Structure 1
Amino acid sequence: MPLTMPTWPDLLGSAERTAVHLEMRDSYAVDYETGPFADWRAGHRHNPADRASWWRPWLDLVAATVGRGVAVRRARIVSEPVSEYTRFLYDGTFTNVAAGEEVRWLPRRQASTLALPGNDFWLIDGRLVRWNHFTGEGSSAGGEMSDDPAAAKLCADAFSAVWERAIPHGRYEIR
């Protein structure tokens, strides 16, 4: 029987020790005409000193999760030179870090010898997987939950291997 898809507050709220996220795409579907990516392309950059202008519900959720003692980590595998979308993500990652998330970057060439799952995922406490599915164009094709121990182990092992090789956000230089 398939697991019910929890809301993000419920999913992160269920975490007791860890919530880790692996991202492996060079771009995700965005509206090139309007929204944050379009604003960034037009030259807008978040002002780190003006927290009110960039703080949003997701960051509140991350901060609350970290505040409960849960380690929230995100690893991104990226092609180099990076895509325009990855550059956009990089420029805004200081907001994730400000919320308490640890973020690392792994150049794709350094991931060649790693066994990785076929989809991006969140792994909660090493036991619950939320797969993120995408279309070929990068649009969300929905999520899928799994409590299969083999899937959780695959994700835990993959994330650990990526995390070990990846470069902390503060030291990663965009190429």
Structure 2
Amino acid sequence: MSTTQSERLRELLEPLVTSQGLDLEEIAVDSVGRKRVLRVVVDSDTGADLDAIADVSRALSAKLDETNAMGEGAYDLEVGTPGAERLLTEHRHFVRATDRLVKFQLTEGGELVARILEVDQEGIDVEVPGVKGRKATTRRLGFPEIAKARVQVEFSRKDSKDSKKAMKEEEEA
């Protein structure tokens, strides 16, 4: 049974990432011109700040140098977090996206844009925004009903808890 380089690297690096309190979300080796780039995406329930990224990057770099897992040629190591419009593929991704607006492609066809309210083992409860003055409605989606889900970027959210908190702090200052 053959394994890909990415799978071998995942086996080598995942314990290090986990020991830093992070999840290894993605690993990819790409060729950019004559260089190779190892891209490692990490995350956690509370997110990963720059210090955590730097720490895990140093640990991964040391392990890669020690084991020569990338071979003799030059390569760049890039460690980061998932993008703003991340694809939700694991249960933990849906949990982390609670209170976020998500675009769902449904297995039966069609799309739905809704805010994740709650996640359990069988599926999620979402709030579908009202259209043309109508009130928002709630809906239950079982995981088998979801073909694809991607977080949406929101530049301004009128009812955001964070923006209300920030406005209150500004008033008090």
Under a length normalisation based on structure 2, what TM-score does the superposition of the two structures give?
A: 0.25
More strand by share: 2
Larger Rg: 2
Greater RCO between the two (CA within 8 Å, min separation 6)?
Answer: 1
Q: Is the helix fraction higher in 1 or 2? A: 1
